[in-house]
């Protein structure tokens, strides 16, 4: 079967660093993506890793280890506006993505 | 640029009735997708289309049908709605090249309640 596992909830304070992990078990793999979704809104793309290593985009970084079927999203200098749900997604053959169930991040002051 | 539009924004539908959720994109993306989002279950793929004229089944296709007559439009039809189809439905699109398809652009969603 295909599955992606990520924590359901994470809490942190403003200015802190938080890491959201994602492990996957899929029949095909064409990269690991991360999406952000604010309450009541649409998911928006954050990052994509096709190869092992770290990708950095501003305060957000994403890491992939294909040998471990594992990746993470690292959020630095947390702000209140970062409170949202974060989804990892694995690319499949064709163009489909399989999404994890999401991690709700709550940032407090 | 509008990106992706969906209609209606929300709808209450009687069980057994049919309904078509509309989705239009203006980015000339080859690939389009329909997801449903339920609390605690994340986003689940219903159907997808890699290019106009072709469609494919996702994780939860039963009870839904799609068509892709042109690049811009990708309607989702519920032939005979059931209460378990109560959900938020998101349409998305992406460039279908190998590296680009992982970046999907989502519409604002349609909140459907089936009673």
Note whether B103 contacts A: Cβ–Cβ < 8 A: yes
Who contacts B59 (Cβ-Cβ below 8 Å, separation ≥6)? Answer: A98, B44, B45, B46
pLDDT in tens, B19-60: 999 999 999 999 999 999 998 888 999 999 999 999 999 989
pLDDT values of chain A reduced to their tens digit, one per residue, 109 residues = 678 999 999 999 999 999 999 999 988 788 999 999 999 899 999 999 989 999 998 999 999 999 999 999 999 999 999 999 999 999 876 668 899 999 999 999 9
Confirm or reject contact between B66 and chain A (CB < 8 A): no
Q: What angle do CA B86, B89, B90 make, to 5 degrees?
A: 170
Contacts of A48 in chain B (CB under 8 A): 99, 102-103
Q: Which residues in chain B have their CB less than 8 angstroms from residue A29's CB?
A: none
């Amino acid at each position: 079967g295909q599955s992606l596992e990520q924590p359901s909830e994470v809490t942190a304070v403003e200015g802190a660093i938080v890491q959201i992990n994602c492990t996957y078990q899929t029949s095909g793999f064409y990269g690991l993506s991360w999406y952000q979704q604010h309450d009541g809104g649409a998911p928006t793309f954050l990052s994509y890793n096709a190869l092992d290593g770290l990708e950095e985009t501003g305060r957000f970084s994403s890491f992939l280890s294909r040998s471990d079927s594992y990746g993470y999203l690292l959020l630095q200098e947390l702000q209140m506006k970062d409170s949202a749900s974060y989804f990892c997604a694995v690319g499949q053959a064709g163009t489909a993505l399989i999404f994890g169930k999401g991690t709700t991040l709550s940032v407090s002051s | 640029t509008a990106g992706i539009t969906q209609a209606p924004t929300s709808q209450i539908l009687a069980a057994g009735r049919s309904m078509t959720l509309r989705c239009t994109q203006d980015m000339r993306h080859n690939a389009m997708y329909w997801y449903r989002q339920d609390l605690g279950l994340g986003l689940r793929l219903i159907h997808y289309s890699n290019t106009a004229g072709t469609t494919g089944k996702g994780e939860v296709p039963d009870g839904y049908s799609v068509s892709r007559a042109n690049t811009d439009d990708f309607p989702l039809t519920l032939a005979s709605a059931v209460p378990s189809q109560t959900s938020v439905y998101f349409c998305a699109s992406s460039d279908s090249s190998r590296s680009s398809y992982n970046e999907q652009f989502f519409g604002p969603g349609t909140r459907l309640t089936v009673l």
